[in-house]
A and B are shown apart, each in its own frame.
Chain A
Amino acid sequence: MNNLKKIKIQLNGKKHRIKMGYNLKDLLKILKKDNNKVAIELNGEIADKKKYNKIFLKKNDKIEIVQFIGGG
């Protein structure tokens, strides 16, 4: 496992290292986030929920994962 190459991404404003070959579905899985409770923005574009398993992460990708929180 450790032999697998890691890539740098920016996740919610912070630098993050992730294994190469991961897609957005994998990312949510390792973060333990429910697909139905979040939305993802990839490099400024909203990612289509239905395509999370087809969108693979690349070096320097900027990802924002958001959810609903309490607000007025």
Chain B
Amino acid sequence: MKDDFIIDKIKFKSRLIVGTGKYKSFQQTANAIKASGADMVTVAVRRVNITNKKEPTLMDYIDPKKITYLPNTAGCFNSRDALRTLRLAREMGGWKLVKLEVLGDKKTLYPNMIETIKSTEVLVKEGFKVMVYCTDDLVMAKKLEDVGASSIMPLAAPIGSGLGIQNKINIKIIKEQSKVPVIVDAGVGEASDATIAMELGCDGVLINTAIAEANNPALMAEAMKFAVIAGRKSYLAGRMKKKTFGVASSPKKNLI
């Protein structure tokens, strides 16, 4: 069954997108990415280390020619900083596909949707393809699509919380109303959360902390890979109808 995952005309093999933060080493990051089967990873933009001239870089371990780098604006609390970060990211390697995330609250890391929508509008006009981290608010999600977001990325729960999907109904509605891909971003804690996201009909899942902070990140990455595949197939297969009472699976006829 043909089931391509396409974001703004770019085809990806995996519906699992993996973040590259919080790992103990670049080697551990590379091992986890490989095990996850992801062909898109999020990366942050930061100052280079001027004092340590031989410091290894992420690109030494994850080849951007083989794995799509999705630059993010993590840590930005206003539109100005987010735009600055992504313009620098574009200059770095010509990346037009970016992840926008404008935070509004330091404690919960909840997105500031006013700044997020404003930034999306500007970035789209500048030719960026913007995947947008957002609240699970269906009105905001629609607004983002209207201003040209390439994909809508509602949170399942706060970033790094591992709480799983807190509002399944909203995620489902957002998916049903959107013409662009919907990717659950943030809050996934274990493999079953990723499966649920996919069973709700989402096009993909973005996971970082659940993999990086697992006791065995590469093994969890592999679990997430299968969880996303399982959830997708389950969604496409179409679940049975729920019933209140038991319905026997074996025929009643010819009982001994």
Contact = CB atoms under 8 A, between A and B. Distances in A.
A28 B3 CA distance: 45
A31 B50 contact: yes
Interface residues of A, number: 27
A66 B72 CA distance: 13
Interface string A39-72: 1110000111100000000000000111111111
A72 B45 contact: no
A37 B92 contact: yes
Contacts of B64: 68
Given A38-B92, A64-B47, A71 B53 contact: no
A41 B47 CA distance: 11
Contact of A68 (B50, B54, B58, B206): B58
A68 B43 contact: yes
Contacts, number: 105
Interface of A: 11-14, 16, 31-33, 36-41, 46-49, 64-72
Among all A-B residue pairs, the 3 with the closest Cβ atoms? A71-B44, A72-B19, A72-B208
- Size category of the B interface is 35 or more
Contacts of B23: 70
Interface string B205-231: 010110000000000000000000000
Nearest to B206: A72
Of B19, B26, B50, the most chain A CB neighbours within 10 A belong to: B50
Contacts of A67: 45-48, 57-58, 92
A68 B45 contact: yes
B29 interface: yes
Contacts of A41: 84, 88
Contacts of A72: 19-22, 42, 44, 72, 74, 159-160, 186, 206, 208-209
